[in-house]
Structure 1
């Protein structure tokens, strides 16, 4: 199997996508090559692949957001377009849910995909998300490859340690191709 190449301008987009790079490595590459560093890992990866294939510097996506103040938010208020997890929103949810409230990934995703629904519905959704998480019904988003790998490792290897899972993950991410867990990754523990 091919060894992971250094992330530089000599790579083509396909080769780049065949290997795993940390977000910090992607951001560092962007800074060195004048590419925007904003956005999530998937957006940055797409930007770098385009740059490697075309030499062009794609612009970061920009969205204009409506400014909302805490006093504007009630249980009957509608979730605004381009929702942003702000201190005003955090304060509102802490007031209605409790000090244990946090903007977990699943809830952020729910808020951003439910524009026009009420904050009362958001509070109910938050409680449902926590319930689903306790029952193990949650999905891990695509950009969280490490978490997905570790969960799959433990599903297939009850009784193994986190250290063993991490050893296999480090082995896997150095290989060309996908980063999903496979039983053959256990060779890394030998």
Structure 2
């Protein structure tokens, strides 16, 4: 098994990009080097790679938060532009869907992409998204490599345990290259 190099300022950016690092490791490095720590894992990775290439610091992108301009929400209320999840929205959806409601990623994307549709249509979309998720039809965003790996592991290895999946994941992320599941990763179970 290959040893992943420590994240240090003299690490080559190509080597850095070829290994998996936790977001916590990325933010610790940024703090130690005086780099901004805001943003998701993708932003942090780009910021660190740029810094390792030549010391250039990619500035944080300012986040502009807008207050919701919608008043009382009904089924016929149109979804406002620049939708932001708020307590008012949560209360509406919990009333319609129940206490099990959550602003999952797929539903948030739907809301932001469907400005002008009604909140009644949003409730229908929520149920549809939930059904697709049950069937395994939802796409996991690229920053959630662990989740994607575990789902793909179980799709190929029914009867294996989560402990075995995690052992294979830990093996995979210690190696250079991509972090997608491959049948060869089962080698970790015999090591």
Query: TM-score, with normalisation over the residues of structure 1?
Result: 0.89
Mapping of 1:1-190 within 5 angstroms? Answer: 2-68=2-68, 71-190=71-190
What is the deviation of 1:13?
2.3
Structure 2 SS opposite 1:71: coil
Q: Deviations over 1:34-87 (max 9, x none)?
A: 222222211221122122213122112224232016735443444344433232
Number of residue pairs matched?
190
Q: Distance in 1 between matches of 2:173 and 2:127?
A: 35
Return the alpha-carbon distance in structure 2 between the equivalents of residues 111 and 39 of structure 1.
22
The alignment's C-alpha RMSD in Å is 2.0
Aligned-pair distance for 1:7?
Answer: 0.9
Unaligned segments of structure 2, at least 5 residues: none
Q: Distance in 2 between matches of 1:49 and 1:186?
A: 31
Q: Distance in 1 between matches of 2:63 and 2:76?
A: 25
Q: Deviations over 1:8-30 (max 9, x none)?
A: 11123221110001111111112
Q: Which secondary structure does the structure 2 equivalent of 1:93 belong to?
A: helix
Contact 1:18 1:178 in 2 (8 A): yes
State the Cα distance separating 1:143 from its structure 2 match.
0.8
| Secondary structure in structure 2 of the residue aligned to 1:53 | helix
Distance in 2 (alpha carbons) for counterparts of 1:113 and 1:11: 40
Specify every segment of 5 or more residues in structure 1 that has no aligned partner in the other structure, as ranges.
none
User: What is the CA distance between 1:92 and its match in structure 2?
Assistant: 2.2
The alpha-carbon distance between structure 1 residues 23 and 169, as it changes in their structure 2 partners (threshold 3 A), is same
What's the CA shift string for 1:72-129, capped at 9, x where partnerless? 5443444344433232321221122221111112112222333343322222211110
